[in-house]
Structures are given as structure tokens and as C-alpha cells.
Amino acid sequence: MNMRLSYGMGFILLFIPCSLLVAFTHYPALKALLNSFWNNGSSFRPSRFVGLDNYETLLEDDKLMQVLINSFIYAIGTVPLAIALAIGMALLVNSKLPATGLMRLSFFLPTMLPMVAVANIWLFFYAPGIGLASQLLNAVGLPSINFLGSTDTSLVSMMVVAVWKEAGLFMIFYLAALQSIPTNLKDAARLEGAGSVRIFFTVVMPLLRPTTIFVAVNALINAFRLVDHIVVMTRGGPSNSSSLLLYYIYEVTFGFRDFAYGATLTVLMVVILGILAAFQFWVLDRKAHYQ
């Protein structure tokens, strides 16, 4: 096996993936950072270097503040809820109950659907008066709510869609983790007199911790990354009540065609995500047990 690749061939093989990475990841990232220091140019007035002007705008942007608060509520609300639901569903399908195969399929189904399709399904659920949600409310004698049309309910409605969509995927991770826990650990705990709740919190949950960290990181990234349902369902409205950071970036950049400010917001988002990821991996990872 001494067929060594020539340096030329090796260089070509490295060049192809590297150029793709540079063209679509590193160059745009760097360009966004650079753009955030320049103002928005037009055909008759070229853009010029403005230093930190864009960042000053950012600090005074009231709409951004609302979007950040929305994003914060959205993440805090959806991530723990999706995780809790995923663990619950995983425990359910991992149990000895009948029809766990069917349960697995139905829990996982939302994950397989494209987000745009999911959003359209939920548009029908939320439709005022005739939608499933309104009919359920009417059935128990409550007045129907315009879920997407009210500033009080639009963000929560978006969060429900996200949890519904995400929990199934996380369930698969938890199911795999649950099945890798040796049953005799639970047997040993049972013989020591531990009840099933105690076994869950003292034996099962600690052993699921690596999965929880992985899922939490992914869920958090998705909370910032997935805005398809907002585009389809509310367009951030009414009056920005359901707008998230990424949707706001999209709106500023491609709606208002303010590329400089869009780039500035992008830098902000990357910084936020970086801090969150670093926190999760360094702080939570140290407490995790890996076998």
C-alpha cells in the first residue's frame, strides 16, 4: 500500500472543499463583519467607512430591543418545553405499553415534515372561528381567539408550533440514550428500595445528561435559526409581536434593502450564538458524565 498521492493531486482534492468553505462560509462571514463598518451605498452614492455608526444605531433601535426580548422568550420557552416533552415521549415509547411502534411514528412525524408545510397545517389550526383551536375553545364554552392576529398570543402560537415540530426529533436522541442505559442499573436501584421516580432522577437523568446537553445546544441554535413558520404565518406581526432576530435580519436586509444594518445585526446574532454555545459546552459539559 505505498501508492502515495502526488502533491498536486492532494492539493486539488483539498482545494475543492476549501474553496467551497471559503466562498460560502468564511468570505460571507468576513464580508458581513466588514460591511457592518460601512454605510449603505446606492448607485449614485457609494458606501463609505462609518466606523461604529451602525452599532450606535443598533443600540438605539427600539424595534431590535423588542425582537431580542421576543427571541429570548422564544428560546427560554421552547427549549426546556421541547426537551421535557421529548423525554416524556421517549419514556413512553421505551415502556412496555402496547403500540409503541405507532406512537414512535406519530411522535416523529412532525419532524419529517418541512417547516413550511408544518406552518400551513398550523395556519388552519389557528384560523379564527373555523380552526381546530377555536373549535376546541368553543366546545368548552370559551370564545374563540384570533391566535395569530393578536399581539398577546402570536408569539406563544409560534412557540407551540416550534415545540410540536422539534420534540419528535429530540425524542429519537433520548430514546437511543435510554436504550443504552443498562437495565441492571435500574434493577440494582430497585433492590435498594428506590421507587421509579427516584430511579429516574438519581440514575436515568444523570446518565442522559450528555444527550441533554447535545439536544439543548441544537434546540437553542434552532430557536434562532428556524423562522420559516414566522415567514409563512405572521410575518413577524402584528406590530412585531412575533418577530425573531433572524426574521428581523431578513426583513432589514431584503425587505428594506439596508445591507449595512443587516450585516451589523448578523454580527450581533453570531456573537450571541457564540456566547451561548461556549457557555453550554464549557459549563454544562464539565458536569456531564460520559461513559
Check binding of 192 to another protein (CB under 8 A).
yes
CB of 82 to another protein, least distance (A): 24
Measured between its terminal Cα atoms, the distance across the chain in Å is: 36
Check binding of 202 to another protein (CB under 8 A).
yes
Nearer to another protein, 69 or 188 (CB): 188
Q: Could you tell me the three cell numbers for 34?
A: 466588514
Check binding of 87 to another protein (CB under 8 A).
no
Q: Exactly one of 73, 190, 268, 273 binds another protein (CB under 8 A); which one? A: 190
Q: Exactly one of 13, 69, 109, 185 binds another protein (CB under 8 A); which one? A: 185
Nearer to another protein, 56 or 187 (CB): 187
Nearer to another protein, 101 or 193 (CB): 193
Torsion of CA 242, 245, 246, 252, to 10 degrees: 90
Torsion of CA 158, 163, 164, 170, to 10 degrees: 150
CB of 193 to another protein, least distance (A): 4
CB 57 within 8 A of CB 264: yes
Quickly count helices (H) and strands (E) in the chain. Answer: 15, 0
Check binding of 289 to another protein (CB under 8 A).
yes
Cα separations (Å) of 67 from 184, 234, 258, 273?
A: 49, 14, 17, 15
CB of 210 to another protein, least distance (A): 10
Cα separations (Å) of 50 from 11, 35, 60, 258?
A: 40, 10, 17, 15
Check binding of 182 to another protein (CB under 8 A).
yes
Nearer to another protein, 10 or 182 (CB): 182
Check binding of 63 to another protein (CB under 8 A).
no
Count the Cβ atoms, other than its own, within 10 Å of residue 216. 18
Handedness of CA 121, 125, 130, 136 (dihedral sign): positive
CB of 261 to another protein, least distance (A): 48
Binding to another protein (CB under 8 A) within 208-227 occurs at 209
Site string for another protein, 108-147 (x = CB under 8 A): ----------------------------------------
Check binding of 187 to another protein (CB under 8 A).
yes
Q: Which residues pair with 49 in a beta bridge?
A: 38
Q: Exactly one of 103, 203, 231, 272 binds another protein (CB under 8 A); which one? A: 203
Mapped onto helix, strand or coil, the DSSP state of residue 236 is coil
Which residues bind to another protein, rule: CB under 8 A? Answer: 182, 184-185, 187-194, 198, 202-203, 206-207, 209, 289, 291
